[in-house]
Amino acid sequence: MQGEMNFIIEGDRRLSGTVETSRSKNGAVALLAASLLNAGKTTLERVPKIEEVNRLIEVLRSIGVSVDWQGSNVVLQPPKHLSLEKIDRIAATKTRSILMFIGPLLHLFKEFELPQSGGCTLGLRSVRPHLMALEKFGVMIEARSESYHISHTALAPAEVVLYESSDTATINALLAAARAPGTSVIKYASANYQVQEVCGFLRALGVSVDGIGSTTLTITGIAQIDTTVSYSVAQDPTDAMFFISAAVTTNSSITITAAPIEFLEVELLLLGKMGLMFSLSKSRTSENGITKLVDIELHASELTAFPEKIHARPYPGLNIDNLPFFAVIATQAKGTTLIHDWVYEKRAIYYTELDRLGARTTLHDPHRISIEGPTHLKAAEVICPPALRPATIILVAMLGAKGRSTLRNVYSINRGYEDLVARLRALGASIEAT
């Protein structure tokens, strides 16, 4: 794992040009977990080279999976018999994505342990949606101080009702159903982009999945999967949203290509009501045959605060990972913006770090924050928050802040964004990694 990296930014520069949307972090890590279902060779194409992916690859290699990078593709071949005895616990505890290993490993072991998951520090993130979903398949999960103990006697198809539309819990249920012969139904499922990615991959493996994009998924599982498959990771809506917020904060005109529009429509609706001028190209489809893409042409605009509270909802609402970007956007909008981050106990508190750069925020409680604008942001030195999206909005604010800023220990950002420094520099930003 890398040592500390810092970003040095000379802000208050207009951006210009074109940037291509990167491939999805959340899709890539879900597909890495799902590859464990296949006894044959899996090639994942266009995998982002980010720290979250690196951690899961370290875990996969530690349990015996052959993993090779071929350009931007990752080729995976499991051994005949996996072993969890030498699992890389350090890498596993660095990422919450390790939870998605439970679903496929159920088909290989009747009893096993996984290290407790880590990832972003965002307060209490319950694993109960996973436990309640998987118990319907006959699985027992015991949460211990440093690990999860998972056991079952025999997997059976099931009808699962999720009490929370969790992305990762939906994916775990999908992976459990994929090799449980018979028909399983997942109700109140998440229909978010990474879930759709996994559904498409399961179809490529020969598993029948109906209802993609809806909240009811019907899966016809098959006992064995041993095939050679290639599947491409789709584009990341939160990557596109990063550049949308960077354009707004620097009052710039740029074009973002290959943006997954179905996961940005509500965000663009709100921004349009706030005064953002933009145009969309004709849509096309990503390599997975599911994700619709457009090019977004953004124009420098004067924004007014959105008159209602801004809050996230499960798809097709405003994406929970895109909500934080509205905090930095609000610093440039005339009036007061109220953001309600109801999912995480701590994330709204991190938004107050924008004050270090001259923002005017009022934290009402751990979930609600008001932001007054417009603000002339100023340079500062800030230690990166230990959570991906809050860390990223500090970087966006620094791009718009007059003077020289330092963002220290940017591992949180590198977990989810690929080649960010080079892509920003290509748009005219003054940023370097040290």
Please name which of 212, 178, 191 lies closest in space to residue 290, comparing C-alpha atoms.
212
Structural domain count of the chain? 2
Tens-place pLDDT, residues 232-282: 999 999 999 999 999 999 999 999 999 999 999 999 999 999 999 999 999
* Res. 230: pLDDT tops 50: yes
Structure confidence at residue 5 (pLDDT): 95
- The CATH number covering residue 398 comes to 3.65.10.10
Per DSSP, what are the bridge partners of residue 231?
A: 44
Q: Are residues 210 and 243 in the same domain?
A: no
β 310-311/333-340 pair status: parallel
Q: Are residues 97 and 139 in the same domain?
A: yes
Q: State both tokens at 270.
A: 């709100």
Q: Are residues 326 and 190 in the same domain?
A: no
Q: Are residues 258 and 293 in the same domain?
A: yes
Tens-place pLDDT, residues 191-216: 999 999 999 999 999 999 999 999 99
Tens-place pLDDT, residues 22-31: 999 999 999 9
> Who's near 422: CB < 8 A, 6+ residues apart?
none
Q: Are residues 239 and 158 in the same domain?
A: no
Q: What is the DSSP letter of 41?
A: -
* Res. 1: pLDDT tops 80: no
385 found inside a domain: yes
Tens-place pLDDT, residues 118-133: 544 434 446 788 888 9
**Mean pLDDT within 50-70:** 97
Tens-place pLDDT, residues 392-409: 999 999 999 999 999 999
Q: Are residues 282 and 241 in the same domain?
A: yes
Q: Are residues 330 and 411 in the same domain?
A: yes
Structure confidence at residue 429 (pLDDT): 98
Cite the DSSP H helix spans in 179-289.
193-204, 237-249, 265-274
Structure confidence at residue 121 (pLDDT): 43
Please, is 241 exposed, middle or buried when counting C-beta atoms within 10 Å of its C-beta (0-12, 13-18, 19+)? buried
Q: Which of 169, 201, 232 is the last residue of a domain?
A: 232
Structure confidence at residue 125 (pLDDT): 47
Q: Are residues 188 and 284 in the same domain?
A: no
State the chain's maximal CA–CA distance in angstroms: 62
Give the CA radius of gyration of the chain.
21
Q: What percent of the chain has pLDDT over 70?
A: 97
1 found inside a domain: no
Mean pLDDT of the chain: 95
Tens-place pLDDT, residues 333-359: 999 999 999 988 788 999 999 999 999
Q: Are residues 161 and 40 in the same domain?
A: yes
Structure confidence at residue 13 (pLDDT): 97
* Res. 96: pLDDT tops 90: no
Structure confidence at residue 122 (pLDDT): 36
Q: Are residues 156 and 271 in the same domain?
A: no
2 found inside a domain: no
Structure confidence at residue 144 (pLDDT): 83
Q: What are phi and psi of 195, to 5 degrees?
A: -70, -45
Give me the domain span that covers residue 313: 7-22+235-433
Structure confidence at residue 142 (pLDDT): 87
**Mean pLDDT within 319-344:** 96
